[in-house]
Structure formats: structure tokens, C-alpha cells
Structure 1
Amino acid sequence: MRLISTLSDVPPPSARLRYGAAATAVAAAAVTGAWAVDADSAWYRALRKPNWQPPSWAFGAVWTPLYAAIAYATGHALGRTGDVGRRRRLVQSLAVNLALNAGWNWLFFALRSPAAGLAGTLLLDVSNADLLRRTARVDRSATLMLAPYAAWCCFATALNASIVRRNR
């Protein structure tokens, strides 16, 4: 029997706890963000948008598997390290990321500010880089699962920037 010598070497939480907590956090962010969205509002419809913007239905079709991937990848990564500090920093990175993710909807739609939304999505891109970096330290497969999310957010940043330029 091996004794745990330090707090930095503690077995990860159970799979049920890891995946359950990650799924709960992701679902909370998705619901919180969705409350702010009104893509049918006169304000949003009046915005000039680029011709390469996907149709409204595509956003839900893309976000659903992305949210599932975020929950699975982070739950998976949390089980790949016994280092409590590394797990804590990964959880903190995820929390910041999900807050920025949900926050974009409030900045763009609720405040009706594409410029504030652009600032928020730029911060989200930085947060995605941090989340990818932290997951890469513990599990490359989790990083690969998060890559489409980061790529979609970069696309959203370009789309948001185009909307800002077209509506000055």
C-alpha cells in the first residue's frame, strides 16, 4: 500500500463527480447565456451582418455538441492528474471560460452592444487558449476535444468583428 505523501498527490475525484460537475457547470453556462439571446428581436434583425453568417438554426446545432465536448473533455482531464493544484487551476480556468461564454450573450444581446460583445469574445478566445494549455498539460485527447470549441469561438469573434464594422 502506497501512502500519499503530499496534498499535491491525491487521487482524482470519482468519474461520476468529475463528469457530473463539468456537465452541470456547462449546462448552467448554456442556460444563463441563452436567457439573454433574442435573435428574433427587431434590434438584432436590423443589424447589418456579413453574407457568410450561418443561419440562426445553425448556432444551436453547433453549440449543442460543443457544450457536450466541453463537459466531457474537462471531466476527462480532471481525472488524468493527481496534482490537486493542477486540478484546481483547471477548474478555475473552466469557470472563467464558462462565465465569459455565457457573458457574451449578455453583452451582445441584452446590452445590445456588438462592440461590448466583441470585447467579450476576444477575452473568451484568450480564455480558450488558457483552457487548451491547461488540458494539454494533463491529457492531449481532452485538448483535441476542446479544439473545435476554440475554433468556433474564433469564428464567432470574426463574425462579431464584422458586425461591429458594418454597424458603426
Structure 2
Amino acid sequence: MSRNLVGVLGTIIVAVYVIGSGRWVATDAEWYRSLTRPAWQPPSGVFGIIWPYNFGMLIVATWMVADRLSGINHVVWLLSLTLSVAAALTWAWLFYVPHSILASGFALVFATILTIPLLVIAFRVSPALGFAFLPYQLWLAIATSLAFGYAALVTPGP
């Protein structure tokens, strides 16, 4: 697979991620604001910083993987990126459209797990890229815990 093709495909996957998540997150903002937030939820301003960083980092990482690695690394990168983005978009849809909060948490579990190969490949490219990728992996783990936190707060007790 050519390096340019890997870079272009990865960029398209991230663009779909940006557009899809933005669309679904904005679907029912009033409902979201009405929810009781888990105590460990970061302030709103953090979201406005971390997501542009994450999306930009994914694009930069894709092009660095395309440039510095080859073969199976390209295939694993694109497959893991596609599946992790699909799981993350499933979270956004489940959480914001039908408000299936618990199910959305499981979608984020899959997104977090499916991103581990990306982290490994990023470290293969360079330690600097691997460390630059860590905030995304950490953010997915935090988002997963928040989804389950929201589910616990909205699920009636026994």
C-alpha cells in the first residue's frame, strides 16, 4: 500500500470521526446539560482543548506511520483506526441519540481497546509520537469511565 494512500485514507477516517462525533454530540445538548455529571468529569473547557489536539494528533500520527513504517504496520494502523473510530462514533450515537448510556459505555470500552495497537505502532515510529499519542488513549479511558458514571447516575436503584 502506498504511503500517500495510507495517509489519505487515515485522514479521511479522522475527518469522518470529526464530522460524525460533532453531529451526534450536538444532537441533544439540552438533554446532556440536564444530566447529573460524575464528580470526576473535567471542566467543559478541557473538552475544547483535548478534542482538537486528539484529532490533529491522529492525522499527524497517520502521516508519520505512512512515512516511516510499511506493510503490516500500515494495514494494522488503518484497520485499528477504522474500528476504533467506528466504536467511538457508536458511543456518540448511542449516548446522544437514543440515550442508551450504558450501551454507550461498552462502545467506548471497545474504542479504548481497539486504540491500543495504534499506541504500539506510534511508539514504533518514535518515542515522541508514542508519548504524543498517550493523551488520546488516556482520554478514551476517562470518557469510558464517564459514560459508566453517567449510566450509574441515571439508572434507578433497586
Normalised-by-shorter TM-score class = 0.7 to 0.9
Paired AA for residue 153 in structure 1: L
Query: Deviation per CA, 1:3-22, whole angstroms, max 9, x where unpaired?
Result: xxxxxxx8x524xx554443
- Separation in 1 of the partners of 2:59 and 2:105? 25
TM-score for the superposition, normalised by structure 2: 0.84
SS in 1 for 2:36: coil
- Separation in 1 of the partners of 2:16 and 2:124? 26
Alignment of 1:1-168 (within 5 A): 13-14=3-4, 18-38=6-26, 41-82=29-70, 84-168=71-155
- Separation in 2 of the partners of 1:25 and 1:159? 25
Counterparts in 2 of 1:102 and 1:60: CA distance versus 1, 3 Å: farther
Deviates more, 1:126-135 or 1:36-45: 36-45
Deviates more, 1:23-32 or 1:145-154: 23-32
After TM superposition, give the deviation of residue 92 of structure 1 in Å.
0.9
RMSD: 2.2
Instruction: Say if 1:100 and 1:120, in contact at 8 Å, map to a contact too.
Output: yes
Relative to total residues, which structure has the larger helix share, 1 or 2? Answer: 2
5+ residue gaps, structure 1, are 1-9
- Separation in 2 of the partners of 1:113 and 1:103? 11
Which residue number in structure 2 is paired with residue 7 of structure 1? none
- Separation in 1 of the partners of 2:29 and 2:76? 39
After TM superposition, give the deviation of residue 100 of structure 1 in Å.
1.7
**How many pairs does the alignment contain?**
155
Percent of matched pairs sharing the same residue: 26
- Separation in 1 of the partners of 2:12 and 2:67? 17
Query: Deviation per CA, 1:99-121, whole angstroms, max 9, x where unpaired?
Result: 22222111111121110110011
